[in-house]
Amino acid sequence: MSSIQSSPHPLVFKVQHPESLGSDAPNNEGIAIRTIARALEGMQKEAIVHYGPTNTAWRMVCDEGPYLNGTDLAPFPLAFFTAGLAFSTLSEILALANARNITIRDIEFMQENRYGMEGSALAGTMTGSALPVELNVRIDSDADAAAIDDLLIAAVGASPANGLLREVLVSEFALIVNGKRISTDRVAPYAGHEATDPAHNDYQAFETAQPHSNPSIPNNIIEKISTAKTLMGVEGGAGTSLAAEQKRELQVRGICRLRPDGLKEIRVQLLKPIGSVFHFLADDSELLGGAARAPSGLAYLSAGIAFCYLTQIGRYTHIVKKQLDSYRITQDTQFSKPGASGGTGKAGTAKAVVTHVYLDTPEGDEFARKLIDMGEQTCFLHAACREVVKTKIRTNWVGETTQENTAN
């Protein structure tokens, strides 16, 4: 598949016979996720996310909107991360409420994720940053305000997705250029062996992945529900994110709730720059009491990190006008079991992201080193890993006033 347009498949599907993928994802007592991702035409990407504990795999595609001259056919990278973070939080709220015998008749929250980008790509100073997360929760419950406040703060802390934000985690990288592994420069090196190249002739995961035949899996797990207008010459308009010098803030909004059938759903929109609206469904894995009818929050979150990093590689290459024939990654993310839905009673944690980067380019090793450095430096989601990102919670009870708290 060279593009989303040329694929007969939906934007996401559960992979039939995931054991055929040959994943050698690391195993631990928590949740290990291996994501292989590759660049397609333009700003499009494709990933297979392998959820290690249950040997479940999901194939997903990603695109960018007019701000990066994308085709806008699939969600942008930050949408996957926003959805994953929100879904993980909602799972912990519901599980912890059940453990504490707190009845929640209805819950919906709006999650705001903001990021910054400032500096010059040509001078090597352009840097991405992650700003505090805001949760605006509307809840209908007979529990008192103090019990709800404590529930929400504890649930955020119990989520291993929040563990990724709460701690300083320095991402590690292995760099393979034209089939040969070379040393890294600024980014932290990964000391282990490199993973199998997703483009290796004996490893045809992208070519062989087919949709699962389970009839309980919805057809509309990810879908586009409204299209942003392509505006020229305005802030956040067409092509603006490709500028060599930038000083801007990005804003992503997700509105998340629980459906009557037990699936979680979210609408995600990129407000800055101007982007479209996408709808996601999620389900917990069998490990955590779900039925895996849709990807889990951690699967979406892991895909988002991979997609965002690939976008930055492609964007930097475009700005400096270098030749990059092919680029792809194998990414390992590892999390503890969630404190509430996983029954540990502890705060959720995450380990540093490990990314194996494969580049085919005639531009030489020094360009390759600079490329993965700038990819990490400008990636909003690797910034979320290397920084402490707090979560602010505003709670609105039906018929009551709003209360604000900080979870970490």
Per-residue model confidence (pLDDT) at position 23: 56
Name the domain count of the chain. Answer: 1
Task: Determine, yes or no, domain membership for 5.
Answer: no
Task: Determine, yes or no, domain membership for 205.
Answer: yes
Burial (CB count within 10 angstroms: exposed 0-12, middle 13-18, buried 19+), residue 116: middle
Q: Which residues contact 55 (CB under 8 A, 6 or more apart)?
A: 18, 19
| Cα 379-383-384 angle, rounded to 5 deg | 120
For the entire predicted model, the pTM comes to 0.95
Burial (CB count within 10 angstroms: exposed 0-12, middle 13-18, buried 19+), residue 90: buried
Chain centroid, CA 225 distance in Å: 20
Using CA atoms, how far apart are residues 358 and 224, in angstroms rounded to an integer?
A: 31
Per-residue model confidence (pLDDT) at position 222: 98
Per-residue model confidence (pLDDT) at position 204: 82
Beta strand pairing status for 188-189 and 172-177? parallel
The CATH number given to whatever domain includes residue 57 is: 3.30.300.20
Question: Which residue range(s) make up the domain with 224?
Answer: 12-353+363-406
Name the token pair of 140.
């209908």
* Region class of 313: left (phi > 0), else alpha (psi between -120 and 50), else beta: alpha
User: pLDDT 10s digit of each residue in the chain, 408 long?
Assistant: 689 999 999 999 999 988 766 555 556 678 999 999 999 999 999 999 999 999 999 999 999 999 999 999 999 999 999 999 999 999 999 999 999 999 999 999 999 999 999 999 999 999 999 999 999 999 999 999 999 999 999 999 999 999 999 999 999 999 999 999 999 999 999 999 989 898 887 678 898 889 998 888 998 999 999 998 777 666 777 788 999 999 999 999 999 999 999 999 999 999 999 899 999 999 999 999 999 999 999 999 999 999 999 999 999 999 999 999 999 999 999 999 999 999 999 999 999 999 999 999 999 999 999 999 999 999 999 999 999 999 999 998 665 555 567 776
Per-residue model confidence (pLDDT) at position 11: 96
Task: Determine, yes or no, domain membership for 6.
Answer: no
Per-residue model confidence (pLDDT) at position 380: 98
Per-residue model confidence (pLDDT) at position 25: 58
Task: Determine, yes or no, domain membership for 132.
Answer: yes
| Cα 193-195-200 angle, rounded to 5 deg | 130
DSSP-assigned letter for residue 238: T
Task: Determine, yes or no, domain membership for 186.
Answer: yes
Task: Determine, yes or no, domain membership for 7.
Answer: no
Per-residue model confidence (pLDDT) at position 294: 97
3 state SS for 1-67: CCCCCCCCCCCEEEECCHHHHCCCCCCCCCEEEEEEEEECCCCCEEEEEEEHHHCEEEEEEECCCHH
Using CA atoms, how far apart are residues 51 and 334, in angstroms rounded to an integer?
A: 10
3-class SS at 333?
Answer: strand
Name the token pair of 90.
């909602």
